[in-house]
Amino acid sequence: MLEITALITYFLGKYIDTYIILALLVFNSIISFLQESRATDAVELLRKKINVNARVLRSGIWKQVPASELVPGDIIHVRMGDIVPADVKIISGVVDSDQSALTGESNPVRRSTDGDIYSGSVLKKGEATGIVTATGSQTYFGKTTELVKKAGSESHLEKLILSIVKYLVIIDVVLVGLLLVFSSIYSISYVDTIPFALVVLIASIPVALPATFTIATAIGALDMSRRGALVTRLSAVEDAASMDTICFDKTGTLTQNKLSVTSPVPYACTEEVLIQAAILASDESSQDSIDLAIIQYGKENNFDITGFKVTEFIPFDPSRKRTEAKVLKNDSIISVVKGAPQIILSLCGDADGKSVMENVVNLAHRGYRTLGVAESSGDRYKFLGLIPLFDIPRPDSNQLITKLSDLGISAKMVTGDSTAIASEIASKVGIGSRVCISSDVINGKQHIDSCDVFAEVFPEDKYEIVKLLQKEGHITGMTGDGVNDSPALKQAEVGIAVASATDVAKASASIVLTHEGITDAVSAVEDGRKIYQRMLTYTLNKIIKTIQIAIFLTVSFLIFRYLVTTSFEIILLLFANDFATMSIATDNVRFSSKPERWDVKSLVGSSMSLALLIVVESFIILLVGMRLSLSVDQIHTFIFDMLVFSGQFTIYMIRERGHFWSSRPGKYLLIASIGDILVITAMSSAGILVTAIPLLYVGIVLLITFISMALIDPLKNAIFRHYKI
């Protein structure tokens, strides 16, 4: 619309007006471009990560070739330290695969014959030969790349601005239409009405609205970065204010992504004897997560093994499914073993297998993995007990869920674990008890709003869950750390990557946390809602002033048959008010305790009500100017001053949802307003760019506009309550 106005002014020979409008357009474009530039490109990072080589068997000869040349059916060999170049099914060998870059899970996964290892994972132990099952975009990694390409949330900010402009244009069209009908009836020349239509058009365009939103979110993003949340997509700041649902990836977000021993269950021995045996059957140098958890528990409880000496250690073997150590104890050799409870029980003749397995089942229902431990000084093993292992919740998880609930945000958990484990973790962190299997939700068997926890989630399901929540009208947040989380992070309005996330996850997210844990997400919500309050003030002010100016200029033209201000002065008003009110972006505000939603109808309804009251004020000031026997040119200045001053005072009236004196405005807002009033006062009294009027008359306008604001303020409170502003 501003471009159309520039063309009209040019063809009417108003070149100064044209240049000023073009300057506004350039300014707005530069601000938007600079602030919306993305720092990273997720798809490019994904492609770079796929650039690896492979050992492949071709024509009976092993060769090194780029991974891009592999095809399904190729036989390849991988070993410790390799990045797996494709999706592979193992033919022979055993490997520990670190899939953290894909899944965010830090614990290596053991795979042997017929097991699958995925492109992009790193081998931490062992070697294997396998057959390529998928390459490129068909791999698990590649499919994630394709999802990231098509994922993306819609811009709610763009829709808001377009909706506001639509309402303002409708008002303008109605008023200009009335004017044209009036002109035809009373034979008023269109030469006189076209400049008026131009003035209304200029006045109605929210020139600074996109720039103000951008500046406010950029300032908010800077504040958020100081509190540990880096914003990579500015629209996420505004979306954080509206977010009503957030999905938490369980591992590494709500939990520590580290196994811990919890309440060992000794049988016919002490806890110390049980843990000592388990430590002796562990190897710290392997960095196995289970062994490290057992050793750490022993250290924390001062269980000493200095009197024992391991003479032989047999590591875990897929066929034996246990670790074993020969230990020198009191000048005799004993054997200690640990492994799956049923395997250890099969070695023991003394244990009550039924009782032990009932305990194992009960622990499994609560989400615990269990190990059995036994020792032998002869032919038969003695069952020592069970060691439950659990990825315990982060100490701040429960507090986080409580804070989000206080902010009106529904927290949901997303995990690949079974319903039993999911339910146990959910109960510990304070998330609801309604556990759903993700496939049932995606297939439509269960409604997504009836679920607090999504269990048995495959990586691609997270993306579908976010889309389903958005389809139900939720502004959705998603946390994650692995490549498999990237599509969901990009699809969500607020994608949050934790500090330990992969580069690809961070690139796909709109907010990246820099501190350990997820509690900084609360700060992001609070800051987003503060920014919403500032933008609500600006938007209300802009709509009020637009409606006020359009109605006032139209009705005054119909009554008095001349324009009470000029198109040039309206453009000056854009500078004097719109760009001065950008300082609203730094105003002191309080955040709401519930998610914020832009309701354009409520905005326009409340703005229209207040604008009509201010129109009454405008006509009072116009009549005062006429009683002062001012010339038409001086009336222009008189009304210009009124529009500037009332615009400034309106900000202070609507920035506070209660009485205007209830809170202290921001320092920069005060400075901008005082500066604006002083500059306009000097211009009007000195005749700079406008026709001069006495300083006393400027003071009269200032006084009347202030008194009017104070009188309208109680009515504003009633209007805001009615429209739930």
Q: What is the pLDDT of residues 263-293, one digit of tens each?
A: 899 998 999 999 999 999 998 887 788 899 9
Instruction: Check if 249 is active-site.
Output: yes
Which range has the top average pLDDT, 34-38, 100-104, 350-354, 557-561? 557-561
Instruction: Give the whole-angstrom CA distance, residue 490 versus residue 496.
Output: 9
With CA atoms as reference, report the closest residue to 626 among 548, 686, 700, 683.
700
Q: Give the pLDDT score at 445.
A: 87
Mean pLDDT over 13-30 rounds to 66
Please give the CATH number for the structural domain made up of 229-256+393-524. 3.40.50.1000
CA 153 to chain CA centroid, Å, is: 11
Radius of gyration for the chain, computed over Cα atoms and rounded to the nearest angstrom: 35
Per-residue model confidence as pLDDT tens digits over 632-678: 899 999 999 999 999 999 999 998 888 888 888 888 889 989 999 99
What are the φ/ψ torsions at residue 679 (nearest 5 degrees)? -65, -45
Would you place residue 150 in the very low, low, confident or very high pLDDT band (cuts 50, 70, 90)?
low
Per-residue model confidence as pLDDT tens digits over 393-436: 888 888 999 999 999 999 999 987 778 888 888 888 989 889 99
Indicate whether 17 pLDDT > 70: no
What is the model's pTM? 0.74
Q: Are 567 and 14 in contact (CB under 8 A)?
A: yes
Mean pLDDT over 97-116 rounds to 73
With CA atoms as reference, report the closest residue to 455 among 430, 500, 498, 425.
425
What are the φ/ψ torsions at residue 474 (nearest 5 degrees)? -85, 140
For 156-224+530-723, the fitting CATH number among 1.25.60.10, 3.40.30.20, 1.20.1110.10, 3.40.47.10 is: 1.20.1110.10
Per-residue model confidence as pLDDT tens digits over 642-655: 999 999 999 999 98
Mean pLDDT over 42-48 rounds to 44
Please give the CATH number for the structural domain made up of 49-143. 2.70.150.10
Q: How many residues does the chain have?
A: 725
Percentage of the chain with pLDDT > 70? 86
Indicate whether 121 pLDDT > 70: yes
Indicate whether 38 pLDDT > 60: no
Indicate whether 73 pLDDT > 80: yes
Cα–Cα distances (Å) from 224 to 98, 492, 596, 667, in that order, read 33, 19, 18, 20
Q: Give the pLDDT score at 103.
A: 60
Options 249, 288, 391, 578, the catalytic residue: 249
Per-residue model confidence as pLDDT tens digits over 690-704: 899 999 999 999 999
Q: Give the pLDDT score at 621.
A: 94
Strands 511-513 and 494-497: parallel
Reduced to 3 states (helix: H, G, I; strand: E, B; else coil), residue 443 is coil
Domain 267-388 listed as CATH 3.40.50.11750: no
Among 214-218, 587-591, 598-602, 715-719, name the one with the lowest average pLDDT.
214-218
Tell which wins on pLDDT, 550 or 30: 550
Per-residue model confidence as pLDDT tens digits over 504-548: 788 788 888 888 878 888 888 998 898 888 888 888 988 898 888
Reduced to 3 states (helix: H, G, I; strand: E, B; else coil), residue 135 is coil
Mean pLDDT over 69-73 rounds to 90
Q: Give the pLDDT score at 649.
A: 93
Q: Give the pLDDT score at 719.
A: 93
* Structure token pair of residue 135: 């390459």
Q: Give the pLDDT score at 49.
A: 46
Q: Give the pLDDT score at 551.
A: 86
Three-state secondary structure of 567-597: HHHHHHHHHHHHHHHHHHHHCCCCCCCCCCC
Mean pLDDT over 593-609 rounds to 89
Domain ranges of the chain: 49-143, 156-224+530-723, 229-256+393-524, 267-388
Q: Are 389 and 371 in contact (CB under 8 A)?
A: yes
Q: Is 537 exposed, middle or buried (0-12, 13-18, 19+ CB in 10 A)?
A: buried
